[in-house]
Structure 1
Amino acid sequence: MATTTDLKTKPRLATPSDLGNNAVKDISAALNRVLADLYALHFKTKNFHWHVSGPHFRDYHLMLDEQAAEIIGITDDVAERARKIGGPALKSLAQVIGTSGITENEADFVSPDKMLAELTDDNRALVAALRKAKATCDDHGDHASSAMIDEWIDAAERRVWFLFETNRPAMASGH
């Protein structure tokens, strides 16, 4: 438990936590990786939402907008969890770009089936990052972060399911 004296000698943003310094460092790094992936995935999903075309335009456009809103809706909880345990949260787009494992897509045209396949893979990568973060939390006894991550994994797996099933005919025909 942090004392008043500890609060005066620690950096001003070092929120008191009963987790050890290594735990805070490891968990906040894992949460920041997830946060960076969420921001990158949100922007990529919006990019595809803005640029989707074809006979299923309306359905894809609406689904991608719904998924982008869900993704961005998680970011505040992730960042605040890192802060609650005494760690930092990302502070810039440069940190997002440098930390995220999600690749950008700046192509002038991407077919809808390729968009959905790419977002399926990206959401699966997010699930992997979430599972790794959960393992880190479990290793350090951070049960609250671990429980929150369970919900984020479920939401990401739902997005994978929707994207995969929506794209199934295109994938079955070899595109």
Structure 2
Amino acid sequence: MADIAPALKTPTDLARNDVKSVADALNSALADCYALYFKTKNFHWHVSGPHFRDYHLLMDDQATQILAVTDDIAERVRKTGNVTLRSIGDVSRRQTIKDNDKEFVPPAEMLAELREDNLKLVESFRVVKDAADDAKDNATSGIVDEWTDQAEERAWFLFEASRKG
């Protein structure tokens, strides 16, 4: 028989059922962050062509930013007395951003896919925002605004980098 971990005793004045829905939304967004991080690094490693240096550096900067957000998300989940992702399998089960396992992806398609995935991440963050507001979780509601802004900025940079002319 497996051991059952005792309930977390993290102090919070938020209702347990409310923060559970916030934690679920945060964990879903966290899974999408990891999926987007790995895809961005994949494209960073495999980009080619006349704009190689610019795209390579852009994707590396964006991957670094995405990875930094993951710790903030996971720590927010823990601060509310919940558990967060534990494995690649857990990420896989929760992610909504699709992997790209193609051997070759043209650079223009890389930029377009990453742009759309960042906008999908914005949607995930809006779900978090709504859940946090419903739970009166002001801290999560406030910090998710910054994550949303960062994802929107990444999408904008990818859009501008892909423009012709």
TM-score of Structure 1 vs Structure 2, range by shorter chain = over 0.9
What residue in structure 1 maps to residue 75 of structure 2?
Answer: 80
TM-superposed CA distance for 1:16, in Å, is 2.5
The residue type paired with residue 30 of structure 1 is: A
1:96 is paired with a residue whose SS is helix
Q: Are 1:51 and 2:46 counterparts? A: yes
TM-score by length of 1: 0.89
Q: Are 1:143 and 2:144 counterparts? A: no
Q: Tell me which of 80, 83, 89 is aligned to 2:84.
A: 89
Q: Percent identity?
A: 55
Per-residue Cα deviation, 1:58-91 (whole angstroms, up to 9, x for no partner): 0000000000000001110100000001111111
What residue in structure 2 maps to residue 110 of structure 1?
Answer: 105
Q: Are 1:38 and 2:19 counterparts? A: no
Tell me, in whole angstroms, the C-alpha distance in 2 between the residues paired with 1:48 and 1:65: 9
Alignment of 1:125-136 (within 5 A): 125-136=120-131
Q: Which runs of 5+ in 2 are unaligned?
A: none
Q: Tell me which of 141, 157, 165 is aligned to 1:162.
A: 157
What residue in structure 2 maps to residue 16 of structure 1?
Answer: 11
What residue in structure 2 maps to residue 5 of structure 1?
Answer: none
TM-superposed CA distance for 1:12, in Å, is 4.7
What residue in structure 1 maps to residue 61 of structure 2?
Answer: 66
1:45 is paired with a residue whose SS is helix
Per-residue Cα deviation, 1:132-175 (whole angstroms, up to 9, x for no partner): 110100011000000000000000000000001111219xxxxx
Tell me, in whole angstroms, the C-alpha distance in 2 between the residues paired with 1:22 and 1:107: 41
Tell me, in whole angstroms, the C-alpha distance in 1 between the residues paired with 2:44 and 2:98: 17
1:103 is paired with a residue whose SS is coil
TM-score by length of 2: 0.95
Aligned length: 161
Q: Are 1:121 and 2:121 counterparts? A: no
Q: Which runs of 5+ in 1 are unaligned?
A: 1-9, 171-175
Task: Find the structure with the greater CA-based Rg.
Answer: 1
Does the aligned pair in 2 maintain the 1:14–1:87 contact within 8 Å?
A: no
Q: Tell me which of 29, 47, 68 is aligned to 2:24.
A: 29
